[in-house]
Amino acid sequence: MRGTQREAQRVTSCFFRGTWPSPPPPSPPLQRRRRSWSRSSSSPGSAASTMEPALSEALNGSGPAEPPAAPSPANGTARPPSTPEGIALAYGSLLLMALLPIFFGALRSVRCARSKNASDMPETITSRDAARFPIIASCTLLGLYLFFKIFSQEYINLLLSMYFFVLGILALSHTISPIMNKFFPANFPNKQYQLLFTQGSGENKEEIVNYEFDSKDLVCLTLSSIIGVWYLLRKHWIANNLFGLAFSLNGVELLHLNNVSTGCILLGGLFVYDIFWVFGTNVMVTVAKSFEAPIKLVFPQDLLEKGLEADNFAMLGLGDIVIPGIFIALLLRFDISLKKNTHTYFYTSFVAYIFGLGLTIFIMHVFKHAQPALLYLVPACIGFPLLVALAKGEVTEMFSYESSAEILPHTPRLTHFPTVSGSPASLADSMQQKAACPRRRRPHSPSAL
């Protein structure tokens, strides 16, 4: 899918419970009132308010969430605590889902970088962009916070749902397009189409959107639209994850760091950003509570007990995937530029990511408190490859490498992949805006991935 394909909480409510001394036997009218109160306190609506969560109060969008303690069954709204097996399954699934878009997005970023078509070139993040990004992300987060404080949360989330509905369909279409192309027969009637919007006339005529697509793209869009309608109507966690994985993969594929120094600036700035907004204020927690959009991956901890209708989730923000992911993709391209037929830095950074995210989950599980995942991911993803470069004497080559200065000669084949097995919401929004808004200085053409 080409052109505009570049366009990559539920929250815990506080539960209050009172205990009342046993009164003397009430009169019949009072007894009726008491029975009525008991029924209302255990009604489905009340239960929903206590089971609403499970997440962002404990999480804030920066890592997997530990479920709140189960209330006493005295009021009829309790739910059984998650089993150790369910928690392990949820955390393991989040780890796996985080690794998939990084691995395949890094491979696709290589293909994207070697594209000879100027309109298919990825968005390159420069040192200036990296230095400004934490400031822009902070302003976006604070703006969302004020919006939710001033305006009705219901209407804001309705607009956000429609926005991410459109972006999710486009991102998912772009993600599944290479896979779907393998299933089309050779004689499939593949017609070409173009959607063109311009402004002005004559010499002042300027393209706003130049969207080219074909019949195969329409099939992918139709399938993605079905997922989009499912998400819009049900907000089901599987549909949420499909969109989240598509956003993450597109982000790693289409957002390129131009060199390692830029990556260190970006990760270092967001390292401070994540810590400040998680531990320093309640802004990120409030936004995470109010924000309903596929900007995180979720997995139920009670899946074994309730199946697909489970509602006690652990989650991981997309920023904790995309931010380290674009740095790992850069190291893969650096590996290829060395022409040594090895992928040492890619493997090292990939294992470092697993270590950092695993450490985040472990500390959060032990201390029962939300953790900014970048606090652990950034030192791991930068420190491990740097130690390898020091040991191999390639620090100078690493920091002098310019990703945008060359066209990679071939797509790597990664073999013997190791079997070892968080997030500012604004990163996903920024990535999706870049994907959604083509630059006016050049038209977008379909990508043939």
Q: Report the phi/psi class of residue 258: left, alpha or beta, with left for phi > 0 and alpha for psi in -120 to 50.
A: alpha
Q: DSSP states of 352-400 as a string?
A: HHHHHHHHHHHHHHHHTS---THHHHHHHHHHHHHHHHHHHT-HHHHHH
Rounded to 5 degrees, what are φ and ψ at 61? Answer: 85, 10
Active-site annotation holds for 335: no
Tokens at 411, concatenated: 């797509």
Return the number of other C-beta atoms located less than 10 Å from residue 216's C-beta: 17
Q: Report the phi/psi class of residue 61: left, alpha or beta, with left for phi > 0 and alpha for psi in -120 to 50.
A: left
- Kindly name the residue from 120, 302, 320, 429 that is annotated as catalytic: 320
Q: DSSP states of 126-154 as a string?
A: -HHHHHHHHHHHHHHHHHHHHHHHHS-HH
Active-site annotation holds for 274: yes
- Kindly name the residue from 120, 214, 217, 274 that is annotated as catalytic: 274
Residue 141 amino acid letter: L
**Cα–Cα distance, 298 to 308 (Å, whole number):** 12
Residue 246's alpha-carbon distances to 233, 295, 375, 377, 430, in angstroms, are 19, 11, 25, 21, 15
Residue 344's alpha-carbon distances to 253, 271, 341, 414, 418, in angstroms, are 20, 25, 9, 11, 11
Query: What are the residue ranges of helices labelled H in 255-343?
Result: 260-275, 283-290, 303-306, 319-337
What positions carry a catalytic annotation? Answer: 274, 320
